[in-house]
Amino acid sequence: MSISPIDYRYGREAVKSIFSEESKLRHMLKVEKILAQAEAEQNLIPREAYEDIARAVDSNAVTLERVKQIESEINHDVMAMVKALTEKCQAGSRFVHYGVTSNDIIDTATALQIREFYHFLTEDMIRLQDALEALVRRHRSSVMLGRTHGQHASPITFGLKMAVYLSEVNRHAERIMQAKPRIAAGKIMGPVGTGAALGDAALEVQDRVMEVLGLSAETASSQIVNRDRYVEFLSVMNGIVTSLEKFATEIRNLQRPEIGEVSEYFDAEKQVGSSSMPSKVNPINSENVCSLSRLVRSFIIPEYEGAVTWHERDLTNSAAERFIVPYVCILTDHVLVKMSDILEKLIVYPDRMLKNLLADDFVLSERIVIELTNSGIPRQDAHEIVRKAAMIAHSSGGSLLQALRDEGYMDRLPDAVRRTLSDPASFTGSAGRICDRIVQETEFARKLLMGGGT
Point out the residues that are catalytic.
149, 274
Nearest residue to 343 via CA among 136, 197, 57: 136
User: Helices 228-254 and 318-344 meet at what angle, rounded to 10?
Assistant: 30
Q: What is the largest CA-CA distance in the chain?
A: 100
Report the SS3 class of residue 255.
coil
The residues, ordered by sequence, that sit 6+ positions from 157 with a Cβ below 8 Å of its Cβ are 139, 140, 141, 142, 143, 144, 428, 431, 432, 435
Q: Give the Cα separation of 6 and 386 in Å (integer).
A: 56
Q: Give the Cα separation of 49 and 356 in Å (integer).
A: 75
Q: How do strand 143-148 and strand 185-186 relate by DSSP bridges?
A: unpaired
Helix, strand and coil percent figures for the chain, each rounded to 5: 65, 5, 30
Helices (H) and strands (E) in the chain, counts: 19, 6
Determine contact, residues 348/139, Cβ cutoff 8 Å.
yes
Q: Give the Cα separation of 85 and 58 in Å (integer).
A: 11
